[in-house]
Chain A
Amino acid sequence: EVQLVESGGGLVQPGRSMKLSCAASGFTFSSFPMAWVRQAPTKGLEWVATISTSGGSTYYRDSVKGRFTISRDNAKSTLYLQMNSLRSEDTATYYCTRDTTSFDYWGQGVMVTVSS
């Protein structure tokens, strides 16, 4: 059974940093691109970033480019999202997803609240 379990969320002040993790199991992690998708409270879904199988290629939405870094450790079957210079508009539930062009598996999500 495919499982994606996020961790690392919480309350953070504007301008500070936070790192999310996603532990994957039930599939060959190194064979699939992975992505982060977020959802602000009461809002719709928003793609954040995607990383290739090896980690050699990464893609970001413009609003997080230069502030967020997606990475992966295939030996640990873990996906990461390093978030720097956080803003109030980054407040959202962040989902780890398997990116097979469609997002075919999703984690339960982790809440990130950016507030002073």
Chain B
Amino acid sequence: DIMLTQSPATLSVTPGESISLSCRASQSISTNLHWYQQKPNESPRVLIKYASQTISGIPSRFSGSGSGTDFTLNINRVEPEDFSVYYCQQSNSWPLTFGSGTKLEIK
């Protein structure tokens, strides 16, 4: 199974800061990596697909990069509504796997 390691587990930031979240795969997954946001008591929603492809309706402050084993989700100038948990997920091979998540909290 492909393991996805997200770091940090928790990130405390002030609104307006720009941040990067990391997702590292245990083996190469090309760009078959997707990012999700989950707010408390809500279903997840996809933010970025295939490492860097944008999704209609997602604010432009969210962007992704990476390939192979190292991936990054960037949030340019964090907004109050961005404080939630972020997951990465690989679709390169079965079983599909998720990272353990990064919680973005207000400092």
Contact with A along B30-46 (1 / 0, CB 8 A): 00101010100001111
Within 8 A of B (CB), among A50-68: 50, 59-62
Contact A103 B95 (CB under 8 A): no
- By beta carbon, the residue of chain B nearest A61 is B95
Question: In this complex, what residue of A is CB-closest to B98?
Answer: A45
Closest 10 CB pairs of A and B: A102-B34, A106-B43, A47-B96, A102-B49, A45-B98, A101-B91, A61-B95, A44-B101, A44-B100, A102-B46
Please tell me if the beta carbons of A44 and B98 are within 8 angstroms of each other in the complex: yes
- Across the interface, do A44 and B32 meet the contact criterion of CB distance under 8 Å? no
Q: Please give the distance in Å from A26's CB to the nearest CB on chain B.
A: 15
A40 and B36 CA atoms in complex are apart in Å by 17
Minimal beta-carbon separation of B32 from chain A (angstroms)? 7
Secondary structure dominating the interface of B: loop
- Chain A residues within an 8 Å CB radius of B89: 45, 47, 102-103
Name the interface size band of chain A: 10 to 19
Chain A contact residues: helix, strand, loop or mixed: strand
> Is A29 part of the contact surface with B, judged by Cβ < 8 Å?
no
Once A101-B32, A103-B36 are accepted as A-B contacts, the answer to whether A45 and B44 lie under 8 Å apart by CB is yes
- Is A80 part of the contact surface with B, judged by Cβ < 8 Å? no
B34 touches A47 (CB 8 A): no
The reply to whether A101 and B49 form a contact with Cβ atoms under 8 Å apart is yes
Taking the nearest CB of chain B, how far is it from the CB of A27, in angstroms? Answer: 14
Contact of B96 among A50, A104, A106 (CB under 8 A): A50
